[in-house]
Chains A and B, each alone.
Chain A
Amino acid sequence: MAAPDAPAAARPQLPPARPKGRPPRRKGNSAALLLIAPSIVFMTLLFGWPMVSGILQAFGGPQGLTTANFTRMAQDPYFWSSVGNTLLLIVVMIPIQFVLALAMALLIRAKPRGSSAYFYIWAIPLAVSDLAAGLVWLTVFTDRGYLNSLLASFGLDPVSWLAYDNYPSMFGAVLIAEVWRATSLVFVIVVAGLQSIPKDYEEAAGVFGANFWSRLWHVTLPLLRPSLQTALILRTILAFQTFAVALALTGQNFPLVVGETYRWYTGLQDPNVASALALVVMAVSMVTAVGYLKLLRDQSEAPR
């Protein structure tokens, strides 16, 4: 294939390559476009097309455009409890995950003996799906599972952790399973962020007498901001998509929004309402991401 090398002289109408990129880049509009074209076509077909038809589907009915799907969605008794559960889970889970992940990353940075083994074990849940995580913790929390076995060996009465009428323990089980599964993503991002911070800053702060907490608060955390920011956005968007962990642990007793989409599509066979729910999830994810970016940008500009 003749990939034209497009020397700079052939494109006099373009300004010289932007000085921002440090290595001078070859300009090669046609070659580059040729290389990215397949991805653009593919993504347009598989993102653009379904997006448009999804929106049409959500507003579609037997006779023309309608908001009936959204009304049906909102009138379903499970809908509002699924919204509440999802929000509660996110609000409680994200702070726990960030504190835990930060602690884990700092522990690894302190280079304890066997730190590479620790890193491996702590990163394993990164490759575990939420369905698998739910099943893993089902062995612990189910009525005749390992937690109740442990209680029994101490002579205590077993507890129905996942019972319908025991909301706090049901929520706790889903929360623990999600913290177990998804903290490692934040952990790996924070470890990567810590690696890019030169140790000199902290040592300098230490020389001037800053103790561990003030070094962490005034030196490490501000430098980690970009990593924490990406982790926060990524983690929140992914948290909205959690559903199989609750399905595996509690069946329908702890509905989450995406789980409701699944139920409307497969159980109730109503793709229109399912699309409406999917649109809600998308809108909330987008708003969250934009909101975070705005919030974090404002804060980072304020102290200057």
Chain B
Amino acid sequence: MSHATTSKATTPASRGEPEVDRRPLARRRRNRILLQAACILITLFMAVPIYLIALAAMSSRQSLQKFPLSFIPDNFSTETMQTFLQSTGILGGLINSVQVGVFTLVLSLVIGVPAGYAVARFAFRGRDPYQLFLLFTRALPIVVLSVPLAQLFLQTGLYDSVLAVVLLHTALALPTTILITASVFLGVPRDVEEAARIFGCSPVQAFLKVVMPMAVPGIAAASIFTFVMSWNEVLGASILTLNQRTLPAQVLSSLAESPLAYRFAGGFLLVVPALVFIFFMRRYLTNMWGSTIR
């Protein structure tokens, strides 16, 4: 109090406020505003293209022909999407894509979860080479596998089937699945598992009844990741199939001879799942990338 009064007395303050150095406060406020401005700028860059393709896909064919295109949704129509969905191979491609994604997810969990558990819990001989091997396979480009696999599948009769794409996608997703599940299991304290053993569970029971429930959220995130990878993979799927195309492979192969409206609708349909997946995974994203890649 006495400080305030003395400062008042020494400086000729006309307003009835105590003299305080407001510059840090002002700077702080200015920084906050700049921060928000930068965030909004980046958000516009990320979100506007998605808005525009949604707008284009939800416009009628006729309004897409007009030249200065409208930036606001004043001509809402499902015509473009309907035409797209009725084109040859699209509905089948959609079904194939979902099938491939789900089977890939299941297969990579069935093979990957036990391996991830082993990496997390056992100090077995060859553990480090095994992990290196996984990292190496992750670095292999998809093309390298796709072309020879197509030849092998042609010989074995698997070519142009859902199973062929599932096998390729599982091979691509498996290293990531193993590394993610290993980090998930590392997060489950081994004490609870040992407690379950003491109370009479077999190792398998302890795993299924105690460890798995605690690991489920992380494993679910890994599964979504696998599904996204499979949903998005286009090169391998187009090389391994001819009639049983997945959705992106179908869109890619008919790209050259299709009208713009078809491409916009296709692009929109491919983007929509991304919005949903990332929404559900957003809490796990940093965990997954932070802990799996060392």
- Complex alpha-carbon distance, A39 and B275, angstroms: 31
Q: Is the CB of B122 within 8 A of A28?
A: yes
Q: Which residue on chain A has the smallest CB distance to residue B277?
A: A127
Chain A 129-170, CB within 8 Å of chain B: the 1/0 string?
Answer: 111101111111010111001101100000000000000000
Chain B 2-15, CB within 8 Å of chain A: the 1/0 string?
Answer: 00000000000000
Q: Is B222 an interface residue (CB 8 A)?
A: no
- Complex alpha-carbon distance, A142 and B53, angstroms: 12
Q: Is A210 an interface residue (CB 8 A)?
A: no
Q: Is the CB of B143 within 8 A of A277?
A: yes
Min CB distance A80 to B, Å, is: 18
- Complex alpha-carbon distance, A217 and B122, angstroms: 40
Q: Is the CB of A138 within 8 A of B143?
A: no
Q: For window 37-81 of chain A, which residues contact chain B by CB distance below 8 Å?
A: 38-40, 42-43, 46-47, 49-51, 53-54, 57
Within 8 Å by CB of A119, from B110, B122, B170, B282, lies B282
Q: Is A216 an interface residue (CB 8 A)?
A: no
Q: Is the CB of A36 within 8 A of B253?
A: no
Q: Which residues does chain B contribute within 8 Å of A262, judged by CB atoms?
A: 235, 238-239
Within 8 Å by CB of B49, from A104, A137, A226, A234, lies A137
Q: Which residues does chain B contribute within 8 Å of A90, judged by CB atoms?
A: none
Q: Which residues does chain A contribute within 8 Å of B252, judged by CB atoms?
A: 131, 244, 247-248
Min CB distance A79 to B, Å, is: 15
Within 8 Å by CB of B123, from A21, A128, A145, A244, lies A21
Q: Is the CB of A53 within 8 A of B152?
A: yes
Min CB distance A290 to B, Å, is: 10
- The bracket for how many chain A residues form the interface is 35 or more
Q: Which residues does chain B contribute within 8 Å of A215, judged by CB atoms?
A: none
- Complex alpha-carbon distance, A5 and B122, angstroms: 11
Q: Is the CB of A28 within 8 A of B239?
A: no
- The bracket for how many chain B residues form the interface is 35 or more
Segment with Cβ contacts to A, from B16-24, B211-219, B259-267: B259-267
Q: Which residue on chain B has the smallest CB distance to residue A122?
A: B46
Within 8 Å by CB of B38, from A107, A131, A180, A275, lies A107
Q: Is B285 an interface residue (CB 8 A)?
A: yes
> Secondary structure of the A side of the interface?
helix
With A127-B273, A192-B285 already in contact, 9 other A-B pairs whose C-beta atoms are closer than 8 Å: A39-B115, A39-B178, A43-B171, A50-B144, A53-B151, A126-B274, A136-B50, A139-B52, A262-B235
Going nearest first, the 5 A-B pairs with the smallest beta carbon separation are A135-B267, A192-B290, A129-B232, A32-B124, A127-B274
Q: Is the CB of A25 within 8 A of B123?
A: yes
Q: For window 1-20 of chain A, which residues contact chain B by CB distance below 8 Å?
A: 1, 3, 5, 14, 17-18
Could you list some 27 contacts between A and B, CB below 8 A? Answer: A14-B125, A31-B203, A36-B114, A36-B119, A36-B130, A42-B171, A47-B145, A54-B145, A54-B147, A112-B36, A121-B43, A124-B274, A127-B278, A129-B270, A132-B270, A136-B49, A139-B56, A152-B67, A189-B290, A192-B289, A193-B290, A244-B248, A248-B263, A278-B146, A281-B141, A282-B140, A286-B139
Segment with Cβ contacts to B, from A91-99, A200-208, A235-243, A296-304: A235-243
Q: For window 43-64 of chain B, which residues contact chain A by CB distance below 8 Å?
A: 43, 45-47, 49-50, 52-53, 56
Q: Which residues does chain B contribute within 8 Å of A226, judged by CB atoms?
A: 294
Q: Which of A32, A103, A188, A237: most chain B CB closer than 10 A?
A: A32
